[in-house]
């Protein structure tokens, strides 16, 4: 690998930067007990980090019972289906990245939802025009074949040590006995209250007594507890070939809408054949090299691995450890802008599209794109894509296409065990609240994942790789990532929710940790900027006003975004210790836990 070359950054004022090597010792911490969350924990025996305390505790319970990282990840994910039902659950899908300590290899599962086998490119077209986005979301049209249960079973079959029935027990208990409503759950319910009332089963479950759930009250979901119990007894075939699946099909094709609401809940066309045909796909990860480390993530159908990897390759030539804050952010924003331009042109479901994954991740292509970045100016968006198959120095091929919208919900969990295995798992039902449609008597919401497709070509002049098709997986931005050292040992694993901002959140957190020397919890907490080949860069509060002025002076334009992403991660420390880190504030803070804490 070529060593990073410090660029001549002439325009932005240079300021001092604190430089600490990646993997430096983290500050000591004590894991608190009781009901509050803690975003940082260090200790032995394995680690779990998620957005929710009850979910992290479910994973920790499995680790303490001798389960491995895969077992604990499935347990944590199932518990998130209870406490984070608007972000993930049985009715959704996701991407699972696994590091196997015995073989020192990384493997992945594509558990993305699929379009019905009857779908075509006009899935979201009516009378020659695209269906309004909000109308499409809360409808049967938006629901893809769920991939989450198949992902759980595939992961357990391949790498787990426990049966599905065993790892579902904590989540089944949590759904039956209930969890304490917090402000995040209440506010997410409130933001969906209008459309939840369109669907009587959703309103009955999530608006108990016709009202918003009260902070501090106990929320129970007995229907979901029974669904988990059925999956435990019968296996995931209960969804893909059984009664649960038939209920899903009926709900999608005849959405149970309140006639008095006046809502036109367009029917879908999901069939039992779609469910029986579904497979979670075992596939190789993406791999890129950064500062001598191996960065592994999800290959298409997700664009996460290729886009994060390309941006890192673009940044490879700049010594970000010596750059000022403004210089670093300028480079990071511009690398993101370029990588998103290429993502939009080239990435789709590889079962349907010729995706040049290897070429997108080549250093040669990144170098041909990196030369577009100037020290004293900002690229005008949208930037046109390059051609990774035939890179031209500073070249662009064709016309730019805008980045299509993706829901900003989703959730992420990261797990490590005492044997050194690691899981980074991002799962979703798409928007907060998904389609808004609850399967009657089953206790879970259905996804609206198919709205991640382009409704019509993003750029009519260029082939759009993300149009719907029969059994096709919509493009995703989920970026569960594991970084290995030169000896193929874990350095850090992380991921985030946030729609298309997932890519920039993972990228910025990695750069903060690997280049800027931030402890992992601080790299997660740092104010975020997200540039996705748009005229303006989204920016969280908290960035130093002087730094912002320096960036605006050379042409950057910002718009406020109060919250971008909600990352979690784990870091391997010397001597068999693990550090778990989560958000300090976003989504009410995250929950980091270890089996045996040390102060």
Q: Which helix (H) or strand (E) holds 596?
A: strand 591-597
Distance CA 184, CA 585 (A): 11
CA distances from 378 to 6, 333, 374 (A): 19, 9, 7
Question: Counting beta carbons within 10 angstroms of the beta carbon of residue 177, is it exposed (0 to 12), middle (13 to 18) or buried (19 or more)?
Answer: exposed
**Pairing relationship of beta strands 286-290 and 293-297 according to DSSP bridges:** antiparallel
Structure tokens at 525: 């907490």
Contact between 520 and 569 under an 8 Å Cβ cutoff? The reply is yes
Distance CA 478, CA 304 (A): 5
Q: Strands, E, within 51-206: which ranges? A: 93-100, 105-111, 125-126, 129-130, 179-180
Q: Which residues are catalytic?
A: 410
CA–centroid distance for 491 within its chain: 20
Backbone angles phi, psi at 428, to 5 degrees: -160, 160
Other C-beta atoms closer than 10 Å to the C-beta of 118 total: 14
Helix, strand, coil shares of the chain, percent, nearest 5, are 35, 15, 50
Contact between 246 and 253 under an 8 Å Cβ cutoff? The reply is no
Which residues are CB-contacts of 499 (< 8 A; sequence separation ≥ 6)? 405, 406, 407, 408, 409, 410, 477
∠ Cα 452 158 353 (to 5°): 35
Distance CA 374, CA 93 (A): 40
Q: Is the peptide bond before 2 cis (omega within 30 degrees of 0)?
A: no
Q: Tokens 């409130």: give the residue.
A: 190
Q: Is the peptide bond before 310 cis (omega within 30 degrees of 0)?
A: no
Give the bridge partners for 296, in sequence order: 287, 482
Distance CA 129, CA 120 (A): 15
| Exposure on the CB side of residue 505, measured as CA atoms within 13 A | 27
**Pairing relationship of beta strands 558-560 and 537-539 according to DSSP bridges:** parallel
C-alpha distance across the termini of the chain, in Å: 38
């Amino acid at each position: 690998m070529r060593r990073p070359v410090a660029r001549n950054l002439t325009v932005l004022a240079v300021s001092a930067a604190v430089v600490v090597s990646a993997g430096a010792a983290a500050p000591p911490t004590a894991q608190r007990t009781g009901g509050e969350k803690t975003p940082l924990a260090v200790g032995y025996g394995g680690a779990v980090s998620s957005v929710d305390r009850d979910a992290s505790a479910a994973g920790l319970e499995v680790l303490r019972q001798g389960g491995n990282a895969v077992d604990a990840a499935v347990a944590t994910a199932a518990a998130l289906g209870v406490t984070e039902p608007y972000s993930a659950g049985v009715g959704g899908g996701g991407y699972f990245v696994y590091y196997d300590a015995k073989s020192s290899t990384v493997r992945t599962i594509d558990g993305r939802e699929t379009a019905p086998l009857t779908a075509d490119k006009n899935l979201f077209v009516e009378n020659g025009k695209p269906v309004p986005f909000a109308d499409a979301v809360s409808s049967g049209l938006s629901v893809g074949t769920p991939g989450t249960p198949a992902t759980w079973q595939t992961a357990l079959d391949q790498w787990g040590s426990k049966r599905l029935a065993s790892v579902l027990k904590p989540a089944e208990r949590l759904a039956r006995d209930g969890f304490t409503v917090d402000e995040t759950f209440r506010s997410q319910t409130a933001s969906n209250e209008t459309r939840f009332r369109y669907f009587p089963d959703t309103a009955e479950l999530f608006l108990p007594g016709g009202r918003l759930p009260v902070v501090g009250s106990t929320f129970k979901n007995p229907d979901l507890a029974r669904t988990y119990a059925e999956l435990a007894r019968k296996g995931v075939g209960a969804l893909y070939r059984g009664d649960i699946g038939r209920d899903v099909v009926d709900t999608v094709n005849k959405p149970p809408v309140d006639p008095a609401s006046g809502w036109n809940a367009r029917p879908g066309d999901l069939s039992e054949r779609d469910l029986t045909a579904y497979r979670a796909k075992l596939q190789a990860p993406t791999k890129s090299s950064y500062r001598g480390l191996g960065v592994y993530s999800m290959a298409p159908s997700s664009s996460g691995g290729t886009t994060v990897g390309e941006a890192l390759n673009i940044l490879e030539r700049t010594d970000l450890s010596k750059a000022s804050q403004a210089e670093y952010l300028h480079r990071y924003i511009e690398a993101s802008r370029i990588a998103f331009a290429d993502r939009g042109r080239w990435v789709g479901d590889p079962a349907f599209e010729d995706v040049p994954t290897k070429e997108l991740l080549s250093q040669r292509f990144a170098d041909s794109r990196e030369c577009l970045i100037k020290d004293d100016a900002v690229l005008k968006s949208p930037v046109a894509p390059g051609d990774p198959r035939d890179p031209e120095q500073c070249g662009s091929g064709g016309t730019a296409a805008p980045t299509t919208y993706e829901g900003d919900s989703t959730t992420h969990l990261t797990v490590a065990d005492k044997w050194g295995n690691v899981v980074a798992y991002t799962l979703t039902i798409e928007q907060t609240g998904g389609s808004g449609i609850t399967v009657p008597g089953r206790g879970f919401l259905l996804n609206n994942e198919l709205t991640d497709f382009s409704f019509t070509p993003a750029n009519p002049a260029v082939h759009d790789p993300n149009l719907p098709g029969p059994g096709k997986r919509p493009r995703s931005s989920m970026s569960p990532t594991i970084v290995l050292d030169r000896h193929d040992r874990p350095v850090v694993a992380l991921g985030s929710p946030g729609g298309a901002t997932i890519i920039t959140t993972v990228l910025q957190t990695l750069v903060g940790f690997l280049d800027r020397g931030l402890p992992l919890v601080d790299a997660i907490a740092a104010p975020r900027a997200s540039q996705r080949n748009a005229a303006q860069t989204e920016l969280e509060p908290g960035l130093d006003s002087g730094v912002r002025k320096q960036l605006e002076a050379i042409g950057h334009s910002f718009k406020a975004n109060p919250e971008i992403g909600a990352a979690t991660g784990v870091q391997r420390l010397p001597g068999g210790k693990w550090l778990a880190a989560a958000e300090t504030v976003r989504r009410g803070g995250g929950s980091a836990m270890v089996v045996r804490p040390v102060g």
